[in-house]
């Protein structure tokens, strides 16, 4: 989240969606683009969560095993 903020993204953590239909780890916006970022630690997949997210967001899954922030780009 800090790296994205430094790059000029608007970052919202633990963002709840309308009618409490899900909560994303991060929602980020910049220049008309928006992404939902899910940090995958113990979850095996996001099928159940994806059903609760707005369909107009691209969902990015980040696996914590062997993750290096320096290698991450949007």
Distance CA 8, CA 49 (A): 27
User: Where does residue 57 fall: left (phi above 0), alpha (psi -120 to 50 degrees), or beta otherwise?
Assistant: beta
> What tens digit of pLDDT does each residue of 8-51 get?
999 999 988 876 677 889 999 999 999 999 888 766 667 777 77
| pLDDT value at 66 more than 90 | no
Distance CA 64, CA 25 (A): 13
């Amino acid at each position: 989240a800090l790296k994205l903020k430094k790059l000029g993204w608007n970052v919202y953590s633990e963002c709840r969606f309308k009618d409490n239909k899900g909560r994303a780890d991060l929602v980020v916006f910049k220049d008309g683009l928006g992404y939902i970022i899910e940090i995958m630690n113990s979850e095996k997949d996001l099928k159940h969560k994806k059903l609760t997210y707005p369909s107009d967001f691209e969902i990015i899954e980040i696996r914590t095993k062997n993750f290096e922030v320096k290698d991450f780009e949007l």
